[in-house]
Structure 1
Amino acid sequence: MIIDGVMLLWFGLTALSVLFVAIDIRNTPESTVMKWGFVLFTLYAGPFGAFLYVLGCREPLPGTHEQYVAARWRQVLGSTMHCVAGDGIGILVGAVIGAAVALPIVVDLGLEYLLGFAFGWTIFQALFMRDMAGGDYGKSLRMTFTSELLSMNCLMGGMIAVSTLAWKGNPAAHDPGEPLFWFRMSVALMAGFAVAYPMNWWLVAHHLKHGMLTVRPTQPAGKPAATDAMPGMTMDTKPGAGTDMSAMKPPAPRPPVPVMAAVSFAVLAAGLLVAWIFGGLSG
């Protein structure tokens, strides 16, 4: 079948892409959590992940990373990638558990959402980025909750429409022991990335979520030099790093956070609606 050839090519390219990113990113002055994020994201997105790493994060010339990642679209790329990398772990664990115990599709999706949000928020965001909140994990949890919620809603909204409808009638697509299951989830995560990107643009633009970071060998690991900083987070900035003093006291977001929260839930609902209309929620 054609899909078998496509998957063989995909997984082969994914293995090469992950190997390239895992080796090459060691020389990129990026924070450790973002380095792991890109490796995980490439595991999900294959050659597309490697392409985005090269285009959006890889230092083109020595000493230029701060200026290179200062572009807003690269900041947002880092923000969205970080969301997908962390949330994706919980989502995939939920999908495997749901398939293993034959949960109804709606319950399965609920489990994916809960585990994805829990891991993304408490581990990948709050725990790994706690140094940006002065090392206070509780403060980091409070500061990252809203941004994680809004981003996760959009990620899942995009994923649900794809994961429930792609190869809907093929049992192999819902069996973790089959390659098609993992290919389906990779496609769904990439769709979720695309849908979550605009929300992350708003979050980064209003300093509610961090973007790319720069960590030089002479800096403490918890003191990144370049990002659109979140309010209350401590950061050492350098000239040309893409962060100005106004980031310390940003104006009130427009549209306001409650409006954008409603938008994120609307995106999530839209994903469920599309899945329901086309029969993806049956079973």
Structure 2
Amino acid sequence: MSQHADHTHPAGHGGWNMAVSATLHCLTGCAIGEVLGMVIGTAFGLSDAVTIVLAVVLAFFFGYLLTIRRVRRAGLPLREAVRIAFVADTLSIAVMEIVDNAVLVAVPGAMDAGLTSVTFWLSLAFALAVAFVVTVPVNRWLIARGKGHAVVPH
């Protein structure tokens, strides 16, 4: 592999650093949407299924929105920014949301805990942390292949 290719598609330690950075970016959008969805669902007494769907939709929305904002700041037009966000973030957000919500459902009482419950907040934080750990290697794999956040202008 040429030196240029190594720079474009990071290998080794640098690739992991980029994967962690990309996953933190993903986690930010997912956490905003996930927390908002869980808070709304819990506050309105929505079923677990409806609450999870709402949280997932909002996680994708905010995840994409953060990337679109970043790409727009790099000077790209909105249409291109949206395309890049979908390409860069879809798999990462999907993995994060699947893991996050699976953990939340698996934690006894997490989905039934109220907003003032320590169980609710600790379960949500734990689920997001597990999702982060699982998603880093996914982002590393994408970046090593020139996909995911490797396509996002910096």
TM over 0.5: yes
Q: Is 2:98 the counterpart of 1:157?
A: yes
Given the superposition, is the C-alpha separation of residues 95 and 170 from structure 1 closer, same or farther in structure 2, using an over 3 Å criterion? closer
Cα displacement string for residues 29-67 of structure 1 (whole angstroms, at most 9, x for unaligned residues): xxxxxxxxxxxxxxxxxxxxxxxxxxxxxxxxxxxxxxx
Distance 2:93 2:111 in 1: 27
Instruction: Tell me the equivalent position of 1:201.
Output: 140
Given the superposition, is the C-alpha separation of residues 100 and 169 from structure 1 closer, same or farther in structure 2, using an over 3 Å criterion? closer
Is contact 2:30-2:97 (8 Å) kept?
A: no
Q: CA deviation at 1:125?
A: 0.8
Instruction: Tell me the equivalent position of 2:8.
Output: none
Is contact 1:86-1:116 (8 Å) kept?
A: yes
Instruction: Tell me the equivalent position of 1:84.
Output: 27
Given the superposition, is the C-alpha separation of residues 169 and 129 from structure 1 closer, same or farther in structure 2, using an over 3 Å criterion? closer
Cα displacement string for residues 63-90 of structure 1 (whole angstroms, at most 9, x for unaligned residues): xxxxxxx711111110111100112101
Equivalent of residue 127 in structure 1, options 66, 69, 73: 69
Distance 1:156 1:192 in 2: 7
Q: CA deviation at 1:170?
A: 8.4
Given the superposition, is the C-alpha separation of residues 143 and 170 from structure 1 closer, same or farther in structure 2, using an over 3 Å criterion? closer
TM (norm. structure 2) is 0.83
Instruction: Tell me the equivalent position of 2:130.
Output: 191
Distance 2:111 2:84 in 1: 42
Larger Rg: 1
Cα displacement string for residues 187-216 of structure 1 (whole angstroms, at most 9, x for unaligned residues): 000111122122211221123233xxxxxx
Q: Is 2:15 the counterpart of 1:72?
A: yes
Given the superposition, is the C-alpha separation of residues 71 and 169 from structure 1 closer, same or farther in structure 2, using an over 3 Å criterion? closer
| Count of residue pairs brought into register by the alignment | 143
Report the 3-state secondary structure (helix = DSSP H, G, I; strand = E; otherwise coil) of the residue aligned with 1:176: coil
* Structure (1 or 2) with the greater helix fraction: 2
Instruction: Tell me the equivalent position of 1:230.
Output: 151
Could you tell me which runs of 5 or more consecutive residues in structure 1 were left unpaired when the two chains were aligned.
Answer: 1-69, 211-228, 236-283
Is contact 2:30-2:60 (8 Å) kept?
A: yes
Is contact 1:154-1:196 (8 Å) kept?
A: yes
Q: CA deviation at 1:146?
A: 2.6
Amino acid at match of 1:195: V
Q: Is 2:82 the counterpart of 1:147?
A: no
Distance 1:207 1:81 in 2: 18
- In percent, how many aligned pairs have the same letter? 28
